[in-house]
Structure 1
Amino acid sequence: MSDQTRPGVDRAVEQPSGSFRWLLVGGGLLLQFSIGAVYAWSVFSGALEDAEPFQLTKVEASLPFTVTIAMIFIGSYLGGRLQDVRGPRVVALAGGVIYALGIILASFADSGDELWLIILGYGVISGFGLGFAYIVPIAMLQKWFPDKRGLITGLAVGGFGFGAVLTSPVAQWLIDRDPDQPTSAFLPLGIAYLVMSLVGASIFRNPPAGYVVPGTTAAAGQAEKAAVTHDYTQGEALRTPQWYLLTAILTLSVSAGISLISQAKTSASDIAGYSVSGAAAVVGVLAIFNGAGRIVWAAVSDRIGRMPTFALLLGLQGICLILLPHASNAAFFFVLAAVIYLCYGGAFGTMPATAGDFFGVRNAGAIYGLMLIGWSIGGVFGPLLTSWLLGDDAAYTVAYTTIGVVALVAVALTVVTKLPRPRTSTADPAGGVPTR
């Protein structure tokens, strides 16, 4: 495929400068900040429970967020496939617009009788747009940064993790202006998300064919490509056991971390004795570790390897979850929770680069987009299992110990997961996938 026909490549950047790829990182972060605001839902759920016109139950107030997480996989799967064909810019722009419009639609709900409208807007529509846009900068930036794959994907998803940190205080301020209509905050937020998404995604593009990182030689670039196997198609990746092992690792890591995230505020109060306001503040600070973990662990994986990193992520989460119910000291509880949040974010920062190592980056959007089914499964399974184990008696020891043991057992998956066997390939004159 020539440079002129490669999806998402502009002829104006056929010979991009070294600084241009860092500009793309900035654009990716701006997009991820906007869609990552979805993790600020707890600000809205509490307000919807208290506001007189709504008076939602805890289950009802959790539904929009649950639907959002479930929809992410559908959006990321379709967005990943489309961006490999049409290029990153058009897909990211479309995803950002869909996400923002869903948020704006939710602003028109003015009572509990219109919960369905919040679920439709914030849950179905914005969740789909979120997934549609989320996968794009991750896949695109791996192609621009073959020399820093772990770090750069960590930065890309780190922006998503920090989205809630930036949005939560703004959303709370908007809600406080009209506490009886907390949904009114969705309108200005949706407009802000729309602007941020359009500005960030407008510069997206793939590197030209044969792109070599400035400061390296073409020979070095070719040697780097030869060290990886050929670029797998989605169908080829799905025929390998590695795809399923990686998806299982992601699912179990998400399940472990989100088991605490879903109960963080009440756990801080019940286990460590935090006040209601203190527990809320702790949850806000812990969100910083979620974002930071995506960057830190991704960079670590570049140095010690992907599977050793996942072994640490699962092992640390398992140990900390087992200790957590016994952390009556407030400081000790915070340290354990911070490590869990750090590792939860680390899985999202490390897995995109891992998928690129295993299957190549040409079809990274489709392959990793489908792998995000682990996010949706873990995001639903983890909280449900935790709630069931806690029961009416708040049995934290039973709940967190059980999930901690599962995380420790899951370390075994990192031992048996190896790179696919190198494939002897011949050039395909039509530009297709090499053959065995």
Structure 2
Amino acid sequence: MEKRIIRLFIGTIVLLMSGLMYAWSVLSIPIKLDLPSINQGQISLVFSFAMASFCLGGLANGLLKILGRGKISIFLATILMPLGYIISSLSTDITQITVGYGILVGFSVGIVYAYILSNITCLFPGKQGIISGILLFGFGMSSLVFGPIYTKLVAGSPDLWRTLFRYYGVIMLAVLFLSAIFIPDQNPKKDNIEDSTSTRPSSMVGTSAFWIIFLFCLIASGTGLAIISQGANIVSTSIRNISPEKIALYIGIISISNGFGRILVGHLFDTLGYLFSMRFITITALLSQLLLILNTSIGSNTLILIAFILLGISYGGAPSFNSAIAIKLFGQRYYSINLSLLNLQLLIASTFSTISGNLFDKYNSYLPTFYLSIGAVLIAFILIYFMQKSVETIEKSVEKNIRHKQAQKA
């Protein structure tokens, strides 16, 4: 078997293990029972901190990679992620959980995410969309794989989550240590033609394309997070007398769709282009919100299932699009830092989950969240309209740089 295929497999498994962060709406259920003083808004805030820390972790990896020290970041995550789970397991209030899970675990996952993507996608030139999708499939499937197991284990023993967190921290210590050994840090050479197709971070943020992508992914991620972070509570308030095991299954459906959406959008990006993939993400997001609104009055298992499938596909497709477009437009050399800068939209998108939780605490309904999400998705349609012209400007600049580089070598 090709070495790069083995690394792709390892990278997918590492992201699968790290992606447990996205199962927070399930993980937090026994925590709320064990610590009844914590409300839904505070639980949402922990997830918001985790997403914000995730962005900063990716940025840290990107900066170290530019300095040729990317390997340091993965060893840092190997220490901080287990520590975060252990601190969380010892928590007696929301502050300790926020530090352990929201900051340390989130920051470490951000490092791992950027490290794996930047060092695996470069091994498959021309296939970044589908390779990103495969890697991120693992990341998105974590809730499905581990959520039901976790729910079954803690049933009847709310404080058992503490033991499970400690065990998982130890497991992640081993997983990340092995990944640091078997997945080397790739550093593109400075003196080649490909370097002329790469845009420096300082130049990238000055392009209109960067800001269009930033805002588009902000909307796709934010509207997805607003539902995913509240997924368990949305199901329990929409469908009466539903069991915890079935709630975990519904959240797992989002994970399956999330993972499938990452591969699907990656494939669509490679075969039909960036504009088609943007339209696909936006339309599925809009349909999911409309179905969730309809289900508020109907309370149908089928409707919420379809809504969650569409939501998962849309939300899962956004990071695949983000990862692929970062390479297509801005090149491989600064990919790690450029992708991390694009992912800073999650600092804002993560607040959608807190807003959603607070709106529920105030109105005892998720309808305000659904209506706000629809408004945001309509803005995304407008952004697509301006995207093509911005991309054409960048492509012309890249072609000019390549011709200049070739003339110098001649």
Q: TM-score range by the shorter chain?
A: 0.7 to 0.9
Q: Distance in 1 between matches of 2:308 and 2:320?
A: 18
The reply to whether residue 260 of structure 1 matches residue 227 of structure 2 is: yes
Q: Distance in 2 between matches of 1:106 and 1:385?
A: 23
Shift of 1:339: 0.6
The reply to whether residue 289 of structure 1 matches residue 263 of structure 2 is: no
The reply to whether residue 409 of structure 1 matches residue 379 of structure 2 is: yes
What per-residue deviation string (whole Å, max 9, x for no partner) do you get for residues 392-433 of structure 1?
44454443133113202311212211321423233499xxxx
Partner of 1:422: 396
Out of 127, 143, 156, which is 2:135 matched to? 156
The reply to whether residue 123 of structure 1 matches residue 85 of structure 2 is: no
Assess if the C-alpha contact under 8 Å between 1:49 and 1:56 holds in 2. Answer: yes
Partner of 1:21: 4
**Which has the higher mean CA deviation after the structures are superposed, 159-168 or 340-349?**
159-168
The reply to whether residue 378 of structure 1 matches residue 386 of structure 2 is: no
Q: Distance in 2 between matches of 1:177 and 1:265?
A: 18
Look up the SS of the partner of 1:86 in the other structure: coil
Out of 280, 283, 287, which is 1:315 matched to? 283
The reply to whether residue 141 of structure 1 matches residue 120 of structure 2 is: yes
Assess if the C-alpha contact under 8 Å between 2:12 and 2:138 holds in 1. Answer: yes
Counterpart code for 1:205 = P
Q: Distance in 1 between matches of 2:77 and 2:406?
A: 34
Counterpart code for 2:212 = L
Counterpart code for 1:408 = L
Q: Distance in 2 between matches of 1:183 and 1:206?
A: 34
Shift of 1:184: 2.4
What per-residue deviation string (whole Å, max 9, x for no partner) do you get for residues 101-144 of structure 1?
211232233x34xx432222212222211112211111222211
Shift of 1:249: 0.8
Counterpart code for 1:297 = V
What per-residue deviation string (whole Å, max 9, x for no partner) do you get for residues 28-72 of structure 1?
112212221112223332112212x66533333344322211211
Partner of 2:33: 50
Assess if the C-alpha contact under 8 Å between 2:275 and 2:384 holds in 1. Answer: yes
Shift of 1:178: 5.0
Out of 328, 331, 334, which is 2:302 matched to? 331
Shift of 1:390: 5.0
Point out where structure 1 has 5 or more consecutive residues left out of the alignment.
Answer: 1-17, 211-220
Assess if the C-alpha contact under 8 Å between 1:35 and 1:99 holds in 2. Answer: no
The reply to whether residue 77 of structure 1 matches residue 59 of structure 2 is: yes
Partner of 1:360: 331
Shift of 1:276: 4.2
CA 1:61 to 1:321, structure 2 compared with 1: closer, same or farther past 3 Å? closer
Counterpart code for 2:287 = I
CA 1:50 to 1:387, structure 2 compared with 1: closer, same or farther past 3 Å? closer
Partner of 2:179: 200
Assess if the C-alpha contact under 8 Å between 1:27 and 1:199 holds in 2. Answer: no
Partner of 1:10: none
Assess if the C-alpha contact under 8 Å between 1:142 and 1:361 holds in 2. Answer: no
TM-score by length of 2: 0.87
Q: Distance in 1 between matches of 2:137 and 2:40?
A: 29
Partner of 1:4: none
Shift of 1:188: 0.5
Counterpart code for 1:292 = F
Assess if the C-alpha contact under 8 Å between 1:144 and 1:206 holds in 2. Answer: no
Q: Distance in 2 between matches of 1:184 and 1:308?
A: 46
Partner of 1:250: 217
Partner of 2:165: 186
Counterpart code for 1:357 = K
Look up the SS of the partner of 2:350 in the other structure: helix
Q: Distance in 2 between matches of 1:263 and 1:172?
A: 16
CA 1:46 to 1:400, structure 2 compared with 1: closer, same or farther past 3 Å? same
Q: Distance in 2 between matches of 1:83 and 1:262?
A: 31
What per-residue deviation string (whole Å, max 9, x for no partner) do you get for residues 340-384 of structure 1?
11110110122111111010011000111111111221121x224
Point out where structure 2 has 5 or more consecutive residues left out of the alignment.
Answer: none
Counterpart code for 2:372 = T
Assess if the C-alpha contact under 8 Å between 2:133 and 2:262 holds in 1. Answer: yes
What per-residue deviation string (whole Å, max 9, x for no partner) do you get for residues 285-313 of structure 1?
22221122111211121111112211210
**Which has the higher mean CA deviation after the structures are superposed, 268-277 or 90-99?**
268-277
Counterpart code for 2:112 = A
Larger-Rg structure: 1
